[in-house]
Amino acid sequence: MAMQDRPVIIIGGGIGGLATALALALKGIASVLLEQSAEFKEVGAGIQLGPNVFRRFEALGIRAAIEADAVFPENLIMRDALTGEVVTRIPMGEQARAHWGMPYAVTHRADLHNTLLQACLAQKKIVLRNNAKVTAWQDSGDGVTVTLAGGESIGGDSIVACDGLWSQVRAEIVNDGKPRVSGHIAYRAVLPASEVPPGQFENNVVLWAGPKTHLVHYPLRRGELFNLVAVFHSNRYEEGWNAFGDVEELNERFQNQQPQVHNLLGKIESWRMWVLCDREPVANWTKGRIALLGDAAHPMLQYLAQGACMAIEDAVCLAEKLAARRDDPNAAFLAYQQERYLRTARVQVMARVYGDFYHATGPVRELRNGLLSGRNQAQAYAGNDWLYGG
């Protein structure tokens, strides 16, 4: 078997890993995807999908399936959580679709993950494996080998590591230590639409910006669910994710905010907590026949809602480069890295800036409100062209 006919080994079965397998298959490239968990599933709740990622959904042949489960918000709205005033309202319906050529939507992470999974299962070029924890890997120059926890070895053409924020493969390629803990914590929950307080269910993405806090809410799954994300500053947690939140601490952080905020927070009895982390942008994600993708390459804070979108952009780009240089994975991965690293670095940096902007206090809060309320629709669209037009 020619080396280029051997499969690409993908480590990680999350959104980035599945998107990579699908993108490669559509270019005629076989892959073996290794997921350490017993089943393929996605932990989380709502996710925002910008026009930029819809271009990739179209390339992957899954746009219609994504849209079937999604909700298309009419506006992005920021409100001041202390006064209740609307700071800015950006129309995201037909006008935005006409401007960027693609829609803006929100969906459940599990629905996005399942759509990718079903598309992968339909591809003969993809082998999906669970209970496959990778413990070692080797690049021999003319091929790669990974070793699983049970001792099994799997050979392939190259490796794409989609193993997330705590990527073990990144530790070898970049060696930049632990992720940076932001000091921000996100509490996430989903309500049935019927339990939303009267008058507060709306087809918009709404962000209540408070001092060192914010609350985001929007409908999910064809309007059947209502997603809530509450974020606040805390130094109590050094690292970790996906634990149960402390309702008393949450209420304390959001005190003195508008009744609508407290009405929504009071509806949730159990929250899932994530400690928000990222890393400094780097220019090198590859080493020989091994490449990083998604959070393994460029973990980012959530404030631009682009983590999964950037991973899917990565996947489509990587597949294009590998198909063009099938005889030389190293050159293909370098070309992928060159095309992607500045764009993702900008998202990483701007996500931090937006987090500071959302959580502003004192005069900076007043300045933020004045700047954003002074923008017209054309200016708001132009300010997002670099991201949504990509």
d(CA 340, CA 317) in angstroms, rounded, equals 8
CA dihedral 185, 213, 356, 203 (to 10 degrees): 100
CB–CB of 209/360 below 8 Å? yes
DSSP conformation letters of 284-346 = --EETTEEE-GGGT----GGGS-HHHHHHHHHHHHHHHHHHTTT-HHHHHHHHHHHHHHHHHH
Note the helical H segments in the chain: 15-26, 51-60, 63-69, 94-100, 109-121, 168-173, 247-253, 259-265, 307-324, 329-358, 362-373, 377-383, 385-388
Q: How far is CA 301 from CA 4, 42, 244, in A?
A: 36, 18, 20
Q: What is the largest CA-CA distance in the chain?
A: 67
For residue 232, list its beta bridge partners.
Answer: 185, 213
Q: Which of 104, 218, 303, 381 is catalytic?
A: 218
| 218 catalytic per annotation | yes
Q: Which residues are catalytic?
A: 218
